[in-house]
Structure 1
Amino acid sequence: MATVTTSRNIGSLCRELEKLTCDLRTLSQGSRPSEQDLQACPLLDRWSFGFLPAPCLLGAISHHPIFGARPHIHTSELVLIDPDKRWARTWSKFYRLGKQVVPEIENV
C-alpha cells in the first residue's frame, strides 16, 4: 500500500485535483467566478503572499527527460511514495527509487 505524504487519502486527493482541473478549464475558457459564487466563498482578510514548504525528494537523477543526469536535484511536490515498492509520484511524474539515504542526526 502506498504511503500518502499528506493527511489526505488518495480518494480525496483525486477529488481535489479533479475540482481544480475543472476550475482551471473554466477559467482558461474566459469564464470568471460570479459575484454570487464569490459571496459563498470564505473571506481571506489582511492577506499577503507567503511560501508554503512542500515535501519533495532530493537525490541524484539519471534518465530525466529534461535534466538528463545530475548529481543533485529536488523533485516537484511529493504526492505519493511507496519506498518498499521503490516508486514515488510527484506533482509532475513518477520516479523509480534507488537507495535511500537516511540523514545522520547530530548530537546536541
Structure 2
Amino acid sequence: MGQLEGQMVSRVDPRTNQEIAQIELGLLVLSVKTSPGAVWAVVGPFEGCGGSGVIRIDPNTNKALGKIPVRCASDIAVGSDNLWVTSFQYREITFWFHSSGIITA
C-alpha cells in the first residue's frame, strides 16, 4: 500500500494484517502492482512531472532496485514479461519488456 506522507510502500502480512516492512521510494506513490518476483510502484512528485517513473521492488529483500523514467507516469498494468505505463497528462502509453529492458512509447 502506498503512503502519501512518507512516500513509501508498506508491506503487509495478509494473515495478520500487520505491517512487516516499509520501503522508502522518495516520491509520491501513485500506483502499486505485482508480478512474479517483483513489485512495481508508479512514483512522481506531489506537483508536476519531474522524476516520475516506475520503481521495481524486490519482494525478497524489500529493496528498491531501480527506476524506469516515464514522463508524468500515472498508472501501470503488469503482464508476464511486460509493463504498460500510462501518462495521463501526455496521453501516452509506455511499453517495457522485463527480460530485455526494451522500452517503446
Larger radius of gyration, structure 1 or 2? 1
Q: Which has the higher contact order (CA 8 A, sep 6+)?
A: 1
- Pairwise same-fold verdict (TM > 0.5): no
| TM bracket (short chain) | under 0.3
Structure with the largest fraction of strand: 2
TM-score by length of 2: 0.26
Q: Which has the higher helix share?
A: 1
TM-score, normalised to structure 1, is 0.25
